Amino acid sequence: MTMTTAHTQDLRLRAEALFTASENLITESTSPEEITQLFHELKVHQIELQMQNEELRRAQADLHYSQARYFDLYDLAPVGYMTLSDKKLIQEVNLTAATMFGIVRSALVKEGISRILPNDNHQLIFYKHLKQCVESSAVQEWEMRLLRADGEQFWAHLQVAPGQNEECWLVINDITDRKNAEEKINQLHLEMEQRVTERTAQLKVAYQEMESFAYSVSHDLRAPLRSIDGFSLALLEDYGDKLDDGGKDYLRRVRCATQKMAQLIDDILKLSRITRCELTLETVNLTKIAEIIADELHSTEPERKVEFVIKKGLKVNGDSRLLKVVLDNLLGNAWKYTSSHAKSRIEFGRSKVDGKTAYFIRDDGAGFDTKYADKLFATFQRLHTEQEFPGTGIGLSLVQHIIHRHGGTVWAEGAVEQGATLWFTVGG
């Protein structure tokens, strides 16, 4: 600290008292040894004073250095600082604040704070927060526009804190860039909402067109197919005796093709409905659904020896109707592709994959070549011939659409004649 005048006077008085005492101590009866001792004490006190003076000089130099650093930090801080009097006058202001307002610092000192407030409404807001700060002795924060010397307004984040002697300290942070960015983001949001609205309208039109197409497929294409199948059957029944075996075989093939075409139409319509229908989310008991499907499969071919192993307590949040379609297809495929084995095992379970819960259906059937795994989920793509395993190639495509609509993923693992495992997740 600075060596004050009072401290200097105190040292002076102590020195004079010590000198007076030393004069009184020397008398005619004082021995030379006592005089020598006295002068020794005085010399020690002198050295002590010199050391104290040196310490004071160093302390003063440190103080000057600290003050210089403080004023540099105060002036060059990235935010503006002001000290306000109880009369709402600016007592002190740092260089950052003066630059922020485009005013020479000396021109701001002793000015009313209203100089940097755009209008009466802003003054009311500022004074309200200032009053709350004084009355509650708590920091107040808010955002508002302030006024530069050239009349331009800018956004600022303000903090006012109680100071000493009824003063308040004001911190000003220019947030114009942030506000401009927020305005741009809000504008982008509005534009995005407009685009979403427009896109939703376009999707509704597309869905309506798809429904019209589905209706056309369902009615306009089925009629000629029924005619072809019906007349082919009539030929076999009414004129079968006039046809040789080759002719009958041709008609049977025609009927088989028309029936398969009808099944393809049904599958296309099913895929269309699944793509368009709304999800109704609820807790779905997958275990129970799988057990019902397993019983139904057993009832269709009771002679088959297939063991179903279904884990208990498998529940997810999803659309029960669509998830039943998933299990119908996956368990149905497992049942179909194990048909060439005398004994089979089909397992439905749950496991952790990369930290996420995944469900699987595993069988020990025909399996598949993994290099063709990417074709499994493509519409109408099949890895087996119709003679080996009948089907239209739409089932796994349906599964993929449904799982994707549930925010999940689906994939397959397997090997030829070593079975297959179909995995799926539900939710992100």
Q: Quick one: 413 and 286 in the same domain?
A: yes
CB 60 within 8 A of CB 2: yes
Contact 92, 109 (CB under 8 A): yes
Judge if 272 and 186 occupy the same domain: yes
- Examine the pLDDT at 163 and tell me if it is beyond 90: no
The predicted pLDDT at position 1 comes to: 42
Q: From the CA atom positions of the chain, what is the Rg in Å?
A: 47
Say yes or no: 287 and 420 in one domain: yes
Helices (H), ranges, 170-241: 176-216, 222-239
Does the pLDDT at position 280 exceed 90?
no
CA distances from 107 to 118, 171, 369 (A): 18, 19, 85
Are 122 and 55 in the same domain?
no
Same domain assignment for residues 262 and 283: no
Q: Residue 101 — very low, low, confident or very high, per pLDDT cuts 50/70/90?
A: very high
- pLDDT tier, 27 (very low <50, low <70, confident <90, very high otherwise): low
Is the per-residue pLDDT at 160 higher than 50? yes
Q: Cα angle vertex 68, ends 62, 71, to 5°? A: 140
Q: What percent of the chain has pLDDT over 90?
A: 35
Q: What is the pLDDT of residue 2?
A: 45
Verify that 237 and 248 share a domain, yes or no.
yes
* Mean pLDDT across the chain: 83
Domain count, the chain: 4
**Torsion sign across C-alpha atoms 9, 10, 16, 19:** negative
- Which of 20-29, 111-120, 333-342 bottoms out in mean pLDDT, i.e. has the lowest? 20-29
pLDDT in tens, 47-62: 887 888 888 887 777 7
Burial 160-171 (b: 16+ CB within 10 A, else e): bebeeeebbbbb
Distance (Å, rounded) from C-alpha 428 to C-alpha 268?
Answer: 28
Whether pLDDT at 317 is above 90: yes
CATH number at residue 345: 3.30.565.10
For residue 121, what pLDDT band results from cuts at 50, 70 and 90? very high
The model's confidence at residue 357, banded by pLDDT at 50, 70 and 90, is: very high
What is the DSSP-derived secondary structure letter of residue 278? P
| Of 355, 279, 288, residue with least CA distance to 315 | 288
In the predicted model, is pLDDT for residue 35 greater than 50? yes
Which residues pair with residue 128 across a beta bridge? none
Question: What CA–CA distance (Å, rounded) separates 425 from 428?
Answer: 8
Structure tokens, 341: 């084995």
Give the CATH number of the domain where residue 114 resides. Answer: 3.30.450.20
- CB-side exposure of 38: number of CA atoms within 13 Å? 16
Question: Is the pTM higher than 0.75?
Answer: no
Same domain, 188 and 245: yes
Amino acid identity at 212: S
**Residue 87: which domain range?**
80-174
Asked if 382 and 288 sit in the same domain, the reply is yes
Domain-ending residue, one of 276, 310, 338? 276
Percent of the chain scored above 70 by pLDDT? Answer: 83
Q: Are both 252 and 381 inside the same structural domain?
A: no
Q: Give which of 356, 352, 361 is closest to 311, Cα–Cα.
A: 361
Angle at CA of residue 332, ends 330 and 338, nearest 5°: 105
Both 269 and 283 in one domain: the answer is no
- List the beta bridge partners of residue 348: 310, 361
Is residue 291 located within the same domain as residue 412? yes
Tens digit of pLDDT for each residue in 123-159?
999 999 999 998 898 999 999 999 999 999 999 999 9
The C-alpha atoms of residue 214 and residue 224 are separated, in whole angstroms, by: 16
**Residue ending a domain, choose from 276, 302, 317:** 276
341 shares its domain with 224 = no
> What does the alpha-carbon distance between residue 73 and residue 67 come to, in Å, rounded to a whole number?
10
Q: Domain boundary at 220, 246, 276, which?
A: 276
